[in-house]
Amino acid sequence: MSLQLPRFAKKNSLEIERETFEKTQATSLAKAINVHENAVKEKHIRSTIIGTYQERGAQTFWDCIHRIQLKDNPILCWKFCHVLHKVLREGHDKVLRDSQRYKPLLVEHGRFWGHLKTGGYGELVKQYCLLLHCKLLFHMKNSQIPGNLVVDDHQQLIQSAGEGEDALFSLAIEMFDYLDCILDLQTEIFKTIESSKQSSMTNAGQCRLKPLIPCIQDAMVLYDYVTKILFKLHSKLSPDLLNGHRDRFLKIFKGLKKFYEKTMSLQYFKNLIEIHHLPKYPPNFLVQSELQNYQPSRVTVLNDSIDQNDTISEHLVSLDDTTSTNGSSSPVPDPGVMALYVEKDRQVKELEYQVDGLKLELERLGRQARTQLQQLQFEIAELKQELLLKMQQLAEKDEIIQQLKGHECKIPLEFLERLEKAELHSKSMDDKFLKLKELYQRLSTEHVSLLRKNATAEKELAETKKAFNNQTELGVQVEVRLR
């Protein structure tokens, strides 16, 4: 008796593509999030970000994160926070939505590492988790603001916040909380750098300093928004009601100014970012004319795509870069791929809108055809009823005429005296007959005309049905092509 081996179902192309995608994402995250005390390389983060556009979400990202033991080493959790911050800022629009349910995970890791003394990283992880938790809360309350916080026009931001001063008042408080978390994190980072006496050009120093770049990018945009919002509030509310807001703004202004100056004093950041410093004095919100002279501060990332410590060979495709510990490939992502996926999403949405428009147009044509058909049927029924009535009247008049003709032949001789009256009556009846005959001819003519109208109406009805069927077939063909 021969032993039959179990048969395994052959995977289709979609399953193979999905497995390859998951392996690529897992490999990129494994290279980005490791226990080595050095800065995370942008090429690995970029590969993860592109993956969110390929998937149109962050489910695979979080599935891979759950396989990493973030409680085993504080550096692992620190790099995870950095990668998550970048993914939230630059990933697909649905990343923020998919990440909302993982806020408790951030709180858990922040508390866990905050109670441990791990060479400074414990408190850093705690502050970074608080910042990311605050960011997710901010975007949950303000879903119209993208992950990188950039909107086309600050008026659009103010309008999307809601009508009334209360909405702007609350939005300003949320931005203040966001900025406070950023300042708390940068304070703790510089505190650990100074206490350990590390240089910004060492791997350990760069590991702690690299996350400041997305923090600065967030802080620049938030500062610009909150400045314009406060000017708007001061134009509508009493200055006494905004004393607390002005105090918080002044504290944040001083903290950001010190933060930017300290950042640009480090050699590590000189070739990475360029910060347009804040003005010497904070804006005076009590003078509305200062808004016209206000110049928003900006930050320019000069070399965000290539790490300083990478050599030329690390940016070329090599065996070390294309082979992981599991033997899977991890190609260097093309920066233009992200734009292609965004364009693809735009085209898909545009086609969906076109299909919906065609469906609505088809429904409108169908309703119009049905209405016209009902009107024609009603007119035909009226014409038929009128025709039957005319024919009945003609039959009655024909019967009267025949009766009159019969009476002319049955006049008895004994009524000669009444002959003259009968002749006069006959003449009168002849006149009536002529009139009835004329009326009959006219009704016959009208009858023929009505029959012709009926034929024309039936022809138009047939053409309307044909046009409706053509529209239906066109809609079906459009749906089939779009699928």
CB 227 within 8 Å of CB 176: no
| Calpha distance 463→369 (Å, rounded) | 10
Identify the residue whose tokens are 């939505």: 97
Nearest to 263 by CA among 198, 199, 186: 186
Rg (CA), the chain: 43
Strand positions, DSSP E, 86-185: none
**pTM (two decimals):** 0.63
| Helical ranges in 33-73 per DSSP H | 42-55, 59-66
HEC profile of 55-96: HCCCHHHHHHHHCCCCCCCHHHHHHHHHHHHHHHHHCCCHHH
| Calpha distance 230→242 (Å, rounded) | 9
Identify the residue whose tokens are 């109406």: 457
Exposure string of 9-27, with b = 16+ CB inside 10 Å and e = fewer, is eeeeeeeeeeeeebbbbbb
CB 110 within 8 Å of CB 67: no
| Calpha distance 453→465 (Å, rounded) | 18
Half-sphere CA count of 412, side-chain side, radius 13 A: 2
| Calpha distance 157→171 (Å, rounded) | 10
| Calpha distance 467→461 (Å, rounded) | 10
pLDDT per residue rounded down to tens, the chain (483 residues): 444 545 545 566 777 888 888 898 999 999 999 999 899 998 889 989 998 998 889 999 999 999 989 888 899 999 999 999 999 999 998 999 999 999 999 999 999 988 876 667 889 999 999 999 999 999 998 888 899 888 877 677 777 666 678 888 999 999 999 999 999 999 999 998 888 888 888 888 899 999 999 999 999 999 999 998 999 889 888 889 999 999 999 999 999 999 999 998 898 888 888 888 788 888 888 888 778 777 777 888 875 444 544 433 343 333 333 333 333 333 444 545 566 666 676 677 667 767 777 777 787 788 888 888 888 888 888 888 888 888 888 888 888 888 877 665 555 555 566 777 778 888 888 888 888 888 888 888 888 888 888 888 888 888 888 888 888 888 888 878 776
Nearest to 35 by CA among 91, 80, 66: 80
Q: What values do phi and psi take at 273, rounded to 5?
A: -135, 160
Nearest to 48 by CA among 38, 60, 36, 39: 60
The pLDDT value given to residue 10: 59
Written as six digits, the tokens of 401 are 């005429």
Written as six digits, the tokens of 294 are 């206000």
Nearest to 300 by CA among 213, 396, 407: 213
Nearest to 109 by CA among 123, 95, 97, 99: 123
Nearest to 112 by CA among 70, 149, 80: 70
Written as six digits, the tokens of 172 are 């300003």
Q: What values do phi and psi take at 73, rounded to 5?
A: -150, 135
Distance separating the N- and C-terminal Cα atoms of the chain: 51
| Calpha distance 174→180 (Å, rounded) | 10
**CA angle 303–309–310, rounded 5-degree value:** 80
Handedness of CA 137, 138, 141, 144 (dihedral sign): negative
| Calpha distance 62→116 (Å, rounded) | 25
